[in-house]
């Protein structure tokens, strides 16, 4: 019996060791792209292009960041992305959380029909052209609201929040509030909402990340430069960099012009990494504050429908 116990303990230790090694390898694979972006943004662009920057930055320089901060388009994009993200998150929560609470109540008449309607919109849409015509018909083209209003409600987020209310708010709690004379509005604002911090944080981060990274709607609905978001500006800069790399220097005869063009190419490469890091920074800062709620929120939506 002792031998069996000792053999089992050794197997457990071996299993734990293999798991630990695999987790370390997976973590490094996930973290390294971001780490490389950071060290590449502070490295000499020549060293980055040559492939010499792998573990540590080489030829540390702040010139890419200086060039980025001198670009007014970056600041305009940053301002618009921050404004859009804050408004969209608040708008989405104001719409989604009450809808989820109502859909979680057992006594709601026509609940099945309403849920079927919500789910139907997850799988079927009118298409891109009707979507554009709708936004145009509402007079939202070239306005901030063309990016905010369509993102105001997510059925997936509503289902997660609804399941949270069903799983964490016992019916006895609602019945006690009703006996005390509380209305549905009072029950929601005084009982359900104060206990919903976890799901509010999860949905808020979902919406914030999606809004912050969005650029396609800007391409569709916005033509005024003052309303461009950061991700759209980043996309434009990356496209410009690719076009610059296509230019054939073999047809050029002026040595100074060739040297200037090559310098611009290398500097564009450094700016690319600095812009990516700057664009990712707000989400990297926000995520740790709600990370502890993330697993709970995702598991609630995954385990129960």
Question: Exposed, middle or buried: residue 218 (CB in 10 Å: 0-12, 13-18, 19+)?
Answer: buried
Report CA-CA distances (Å) from 95 to 139, 152, 183, 263: 22, 7, 20, 50
- Domain range list for the chain: 63-305
Looking up tokens 């009450």 gives 98
DSSP 124: -
**Any idea what the Cα angle at residue 187 is, between residues 155 and 298, rounded to 5°?**
35
Contact 91, 148 (CB under 8 A): yes
| Sign of the torsion angle spanned by Cα atoms 73, 69, 147, 139 | negative
> How far does the chain reach from its first CA to its final CA, in angstroms?
46
Contact status, residue 96 vs residue 157, Cβ threshold 8 Å: yes
What CATH code is assigned to 63-305? 1.10.3720.10
- Tens-of-pLDDT digits for all 305 residues of the chain? 444 444 567 777 888 888 899 999 998 888 888 888 888 888 877 777 777 788 888 878 887 788 777 878 888 888 999 999 999 999 999 999 999 998 888 878 888 888 888 888 888 877 888 889 989 999 989 999 999 998 888 888 898 888 888 888 777 888 888 888 878 888 888 888 888 888 888 888 889 888 988 888 899 899 888 899 988 888 887 777 666 555 555 555 566 555 565 666 666 777 778 888 888 888 788 777 777 666 665 555 554 44
For residue 209, give the 3-state DSSP assignment: helix
pTM of the entire predicted model:
0.76
CA atoms within 13 A on the CB side of 105: 17
């Amino acid at each position: 019996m002792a031998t069996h116990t000792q053999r089992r303990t050794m197997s457990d230790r071996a299993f734990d060791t293999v798991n630990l090694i695999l987790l370390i390898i997976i973590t490094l694979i996930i973290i390294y792209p971001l780490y490389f972006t950071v060290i590449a943004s502070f490295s000499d662009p020549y060293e980055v292009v040559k492939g010499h920057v792998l573990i540590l930055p080489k030829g540390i320089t702040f010139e890419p960041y200086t060039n980025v901060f001198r670009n007014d388009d970056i600041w305009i994009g940053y301002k618009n992305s921050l404004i859009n993200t804050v408004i969209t998150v608040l708008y989405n929560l104001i719409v989604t959380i009450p809808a989820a609470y109502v859909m979680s109540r057992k006594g709601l008449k026509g609940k099945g029909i309403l849920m079927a309607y919500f789910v139907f919109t997850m799988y079927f849409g009118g298409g891109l052209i009707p979507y554009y015509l709708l936004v145009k018909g509402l007079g939202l083209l070239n306005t901030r609201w063309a990016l905010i209003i369509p993102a105001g409600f997510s059925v997936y987020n509503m289902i997660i929040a609804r399941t949270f209310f069903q799983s964490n708010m016992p019916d006895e709690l609602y019945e006690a509030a009703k006996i005390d004379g509380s209305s549905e509005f009072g029950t929601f604002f005084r009982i359900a909402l104060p206990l919903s911090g976890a799901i509010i944080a999860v949905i808020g981060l979902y919406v914030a990340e999606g809004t912050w990274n969005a650029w396609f709607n800007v391409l569709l609905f916005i033509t005024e430069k003052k309303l461009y978001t950061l991700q759209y500006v980043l996309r434009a800069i990356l496209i410009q960099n690719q076009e610059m790399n296509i230019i054939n220097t073999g047809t050029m005869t002026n040595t100074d012009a060739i040297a200037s063009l090559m310098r611009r190419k290398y500097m564009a490469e450094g700016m690319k990494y600095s812009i990516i890091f700057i664009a990712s920074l707000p989400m990297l800062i926000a995520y740790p504050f709600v990370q502890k709620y993330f697993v709970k929120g995702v598991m609630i939506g995954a385990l129960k429908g």
